[in-house]
Amino acid sequence: MGKLLRLLPLLAMLVTAACATVPTGGPPRGEAREIAELTAAIAALGPEVDPEEAARAARISYDWTHKLAQDYRITDPPLVHNTKVNMGLKPRGLCWHWAEDMERRLKQENFATLEIHRAIANADNPFRIDHSTAIISARGESMFDGIVLDPWRKGGVLVWEHTREDTDYAWQPREMVLSEKRARALARSSMQLARP
């Protein structure tokens, strides 16, 4: 009964997500206005941020989101697409795929004044699935002083928000979350081995 109760919120989200739509032909490409807004936000992360790097990072973030949406064959809302990926019907497109691919692409630029981070939210919430993202900050700054770059949240449409202002997710550093998960798994394993 407890497992069923834990699944109810997930089932409700899937039903709600199934009612949402993704435009025919997949998610739209980022518009010049959107790229300019992200450019300004990245440039404002600190006085040392190179405006050319900010513009390049913003353009790549939108262009790469669009390319990945095509590569992942996004035609459904995120949770429906996740189900299809998990069933082997779609190649990629889980949130950690988006985060991994966005991080890899942005790091190829070898930015001198910007830094890319990875973060996870909901790892400690049994009623929500883990969510991964990439975050961009001024070089040397914390991910909490950066901007979340989240193409998964709206199914291939880039959502960006200052990390501290993202009210949908409480982001934590990826390595910290993974380390805590490993420690919990080790503790469970040790308890199972200790049983007679």
Position with higher pLDDT, 28 vs 81: 81
At 120, which helix (H) or strand (E)? strand 114-121
Confidence (pLDDT) at 1: 53
The pLDDT > 90 percentage for the chain reads 69
| pTM beyond 0.75, yes or no | yes
36 has pLDDT over 80: yes
152 has pLDDT over 60: yes
Residue range 72-100: average pLDDT? Answer: 95
Helix axes 95-107, 51-71, angle to 10 degrees: 140
> What b-and-e string marks burial along 26-60, b requiring 16 or more CB atoms within 10 Å of the CB?
bbeebeeebbeebbebbbebeeebbeebbbbbbbb
Tally of domains in the chain: 1
Q: Which residues pair with 148 in a beta bridge?
A: 135, 161
Range of the domain at 171: 2-194
